[in-house]
Structure 1
Amino acid sequence: MTDQAPLSPAHLAEARPLTESLIPKVDRFRARQADDGTVTAPTAEDRTLLTRIKDEACAWYRRNGLGHQADALDADVAGWLDAGLDTPPHFARSRDALRPPEDGSVVFFLAPLQTTNSAPPVGKRLDCFYALRKEPAALPELAVTYPHPKNNCQSLILIAGSDGFAQGNCLVVFPENVAAHDKITDQSYAMFFFNKMRSIHETYALPGAAAVLTPDSVPRASTGLAPDVCYEARAIWGYLHDSMHFKGLWPFDEHIALKMNWFVGLLEEIKVDAKTVLACADGGVPYAEEQIAMILLERVFRYPQAADATRNFDSGTGVFLYSWLRERGALTGSARDGALLRMDRDATLAALRDYITTVEKLEAEVTTDDEYRAAAKALVRDYLPAGEAKQRYRFTEDQRVLLRARQSLDRLPPLTFALAQW
């Protein structure tokens, strides 16, 4: 934690019973679960432990005026115990009871959920987090220039959490992450732990870029940022990114199921980040250069480092964008024999404009979901060739340059985010 961290003694005091009693129990229970959330050959001890976790969490909820969350958790746990812990958990009540906190307020949540990109094992395991919502100071003014038609995103400081949140790179909580038998039709919250970004960015993205790019062409504006500046820049990126999802011919909120298709979603994610970069480049956005550098370094040079890159959605966006930039002269040079590539800023911006034009032309030409999916798959396959069974794609020889830093990065221990770390 730094002096700039807006955490009061009351926030920290409320976190203590969670860190001293509840969270260790959650970590013990999640270690008993498989990836689908089930407990193999559950014992009476497992049932007792889950009941104690539920009781402590419900007591916290009620003590803090969140009786509706307590009622939902109590019912979800009772239903799981009745069905048997060797069946997949169904926590739709808890999922739907979670309401985003107001800016400056805290939120606590406990459920089996997918903590994407956290330290292995990752699955629909029991996890919890306690966090403070802190929106960027520039947001009210920014929202005038870049209005968000349906803003449901929350920028959070993770104060404490179980292993799925405290270990590794998980930044997000969406309703669809929560273990449940039904599918959501409306994304009523999207919570982002942006205080984790600085450590993640400097530990993985910067070395990943340095292994590929000449030193003079690495975007440097996001390097060595003060923790509060990095938080503000990342939160603004998050706002702009999300706002772009809701604009255009096929807005995300009206086509959620379509946009969750792997190929459609991949193009969509790159599109909204490209639009964010160009908004920053066009002027009037706070921390513009910091955001441009952060987006490019994260998307192209960190995401492809994932161990499951050929199945990982975010990794696919980075590998695709790398080849798009290569094809348009934004990344030049031969990568053979360890040679470094050069990134050209102007060519990168031009390539991103071309990308947006290409995707929006695709969107204008398709008239049905099936046509969109087929066209998206065809475009993605131009840059990400089909892989082996159960793999979404395979790396080409040229794309493998992105993996230069993976071996050294894989040897690093997972990042740990301690109580109230900024």
Structure 2
Amino acid sequence: MTETLSPTAVEGGVLPAETGADAEPIVEHPAWRELKDAVERIRSWQAKDGSIDFAAEDAPARADVQAQVDRVVAAVERLAPLLPHNADYHRALVADLRRWAEGGFEVPDFLDSLLAFRPAEQRVDGRQHLVVFPMYTQNGNPDRNLEAVVLRMVWPDWLADLERTRYDNPLFLGITFEDFTSGYDTHSAVLFPETIAVREAPERFGWGGIFCDREAARFRRVVKAACDVTSLALPEDAQGLLTDQERAQQTFVLWDMVHDRTHSHGDLPFDPFMIKQRQPFWMYGLEELRCDLTAFHEAVRLEADGFPQGRDVQYAVILERLFRFPVTGERNRNYDGLGGQLLFAYLHQHDALRWTDNQLTIDWERAREVTVRLREEIETLYRAGIDRPKLVHWFKAYELVSGYLAPHPGSTWAKGPDALDLSLPPRKLVNEVHPDEFPLSMFYEALAKKLRGVIASTKGITADSATTAPAAA
């Protein structure tokens, strides 16, 4: 989300609330239940690329698939009048669905409806959107199945003002779930246009959404369990983040907005999103951590300027990075996990965090100072990287990470340049990276076992389900 859209006629891209923010809840309409049921049936027949193979042994009858697509079209047309701001998109969506059917249900192409869906041009707090696309869901379903989701925009006045005056990010969407099909009954918390099945990628993408309700709900559940396991006593003002879903959502939408724009701001020696670049996963880990630590830095400034959300973002960045990131996902080039491990080790080795007598303690004022120092180390690496060849930059980044985290004993990269065939192009040397280049410490191995069930329970979590969770092991 690095490009900018053309200015709209409405200042700040915000319309008055009476233009649809308080419309009838879409998920309570009978047509939504029809649409959701039809989409689920279609999904069960689709291949990985979104097509339907009628020659397969258990293939459905073509007429049965057509009937379900007709149900989706009819439901969209019934719901569309409730969402006049999506009128162009819904017309294009119906046309794309019909074209897919007329083409024999081959690999779907929903480029026309993707281009017609432009929610970032009119960000209205509470506004609903009905979205239907063939798509994969990040950290969820890897296949391009048809998905349907009803969402609401999170765009309070204070956030709109910060975006307009301090953190310009005209393509960013803070959103919450109303209801969804199976691809979102997963750990996925994003809605990105890059995931949608199209015949060709557009020149630029016009929006990107992050479900702050899911982020907040799983944060509350996992961090509470982690505090119980580690006997970490949180400051009173931090405890409120674990009991107040709305407050946590406001925290995450601010964090996400600042994080997202940071990918294209600063002294960047490479494409900020590293698109179409094959790099060692610690490079991705450092970039994601840099963006989070920049959000932390800005949160310190916001707190000083009287924004209570600034203090909340500081707590959230540290707690989320320390507790959820390292123990979530597979140990296969887990770059977000690596960033969490690095933050823990940095805080620990600079005496801002202690694990003593089976109890975790954090010196929050020192943690603030030390976290800023880690950001400065990464920024220094980036600035110097502008003048370095790619491979040298990768090794310097490795030195930074391995200064705090122990590499895998079987690592080739840990042995230095002499252990690698430097006649190969850098992208080929990525093959020599160990899948778990920086294994979990003994502390995190134990914590991962304790939190395994809690992490699993956050699959498909929403704000409504955030308060019920299994106890840590």
**Residue 16 of structure 1: CA displacement?**
1.4
* Contact persistence 1:38–1:88 (CA under 8 A): yes
Task: Please point out which of 218, 222, 226 is paired with 1:200.
Answer: 218
CA 326–224 in structure 1, closer or farther in 2 if over 3 Å, else same: closer
**Residue 173 of structure 1: CA displacement?**
0.9
CA 249–350 in structure 1, closer or farther in 2 if over 3 Å, else same: same
Matched with 2:207 is: 189
Distance in 2 separating the partners of 1:76 and 1:392:
42
Moved more, 153-162 or 205-214: 205-214
Distance in 2 separating the partners of 1:408 and 1:30:
28
Q: Secondary structure, in 3 states, of the residue corresponding to 1:408?
A: helix
Moved more, 354-363 or 222-231: 222-231
Task: Please point out which of 305, 317, 322 is paired with 1:300.
Answer: 322
Task: Please point out which of 439, 442, 450 is paired with 1:395.
Answer: 439
What pairs up with 1:213-292 in 2 under 5 angstroms?
214-215=232-233, 220-250=238-268, 257=275, 262-282=281-301, 283-284=304-305, 285-292=307-314
Distance in 2 separating the partners of 1:22 and 1:162:
10
Task: Please point out which of 199, 214, 228 is paired with 1:210.
Answer: 228
1:350 and 2:369 matched: yes
What pairs up with 1:344-383 in 2 under 5 angstroms?
344-367=363-386, 370=390, 374=394, 378=398, 382=402, 383=405
CA 175–243 in structure 1, closer or farther in 2 if over 3 Å, else same: same
Distance in 2 separating the partners of 1:267 and 1:157:
28
Q: Secondary structure, in 3 states, of the residue corresponding to 2:323?
A: helix
CA 416–397 in structure 1, closer or farther in 2 if over 3 Å, else same: closer
Distance in 2 separating the partners of 1:141 and 1:62:
30
Q: Secondary structure, in 3 states, of the residue corresponding to 1:305?
A: coil
Task: Please point out which of 439, 451, 471 is paired with 1:406.
Answer: 451
- Share of identical aligned residues, percent? 18
1:20 and 2:33 matched: yes
Matched with 1:68 is: 88
Return 5+ residue gaps in structure 1 as ranges. 1-5
* Contact persistence 1:113–1:124 (CA under 8 A): yes
Which structure has the larger Rg?
Answer: 2
AA at the equivalent of 2:275: A
Matched with 2:360 is: 341
Matched with 1:114 is: 136
TM-score by length of 2: 0.72
Task: Please point out which of 118, 124, 139 is paired with 1:103.
Answer: 124
Distance in 1 separating the partners of 2:109 and 2:389:
29
Matched with 2:12 is: none
Matched with 1:3 is: none
Distance in 1 separating the partners of 2:272 and 2:328:
31
Distance in 1 separating the partners of 2:110 and 2:399:
37
AA at the equivalent of 1:103: V
Moved more, 303-312 or 130-139: 303-312
* Contact persistence 1:12–1:420 (CA under 8 A): no
Distance in 2 separating the partners of 1:292 and 1:331:
15
Distance in 2 separating the partners of 1:122 and 1:300:
27
Distance in 1 separating the partners of 2:296 and 2:36:
38
Distance in 1 separating the partners of 2:93 and 2:319:
39
| Deviations 1:205-260, CA, capped at 9 Å, x for gaps | 32134334533589834534433322222222222223333321229987662789
Q: Secondary structure, in 3 states, of the residue corresponding to 1:249?
A: coil
CA 417–181 in structure 1, closer or farther in 2 if over 3 Å, else same: same
Matched with 2:193 is: 175
CA 50–324 in structure 1, closer or farther in 2 if over 3 Å, else same: farther
* Contact persistence 2:138–2:188 (CA under 8 A): yes
Distance in 2 separating the partners of 1:396 and 1:94:
44
CA 84–152 in structure 1, closer or farther in 2 if over 3 Å, else same: same
Moved more, 389-398 or 340-349: 389-398
Matched with 2:349 is: 327
Q: Secondary structure, in 3 states, of the residue corresponding to 1:130?
A: strand
Number of aligned positions between the proteins: 409
Moved more, 309-318 or 58-67: 58-67
AA at the equivalent of 2:190: V
Q: Secondary structure, in 3 states, of the residue corresponding to 1:241?
A: helix
Distance in 2 separating the partners of 1:152 and 1:318:
27
| Deviations 1:157-200, CA, capped at 9 Å, x for gaps | 322222333x3443211111223454565342121222334432
* Contact persistence 1:263–1:376 (CA under 8 A): no
**Residue 304 of structure 1: CA displacement?**
2.9
Distance in 2 separating the partners of 1:78 and 1:61:
17
Distance in 2 separating the partners of 1:252 and 1:60:
44
* Contact persistence 1:222–1:294 (CA under 8 A): no
Q: Secondary structure, in 3 states, of the residue corresponding to 2:312?
A: helix
**Residue 39 of structure 1: CA displacement?**
4.5
Distance in 2 separating the partners of 1:49 and 1:139:
41
Distance in 2 separating the partners of 1:369 and 1:91:
40
AA at the equivalent of 2:113: S
Distance in 2 separating the partners of 1:149 and 1:258:
26
Return 5+ residue gaps in structure 2 as ranges. 1-17, 412-431, 468-473
Matched with 2:145 is: 125
**Residue 411 of structure 1: CA displacement?**
6.0
CA 376–74 in structure 1, closer or farther in 2 if over 3 Å, else same: farther
Distance in 1 separating the partners of 2:250 and 2:234:
26
CA 381–197 in structure 1, closer or farther in 2 if over 3 Å, else same: closer
RMSD: 4.0
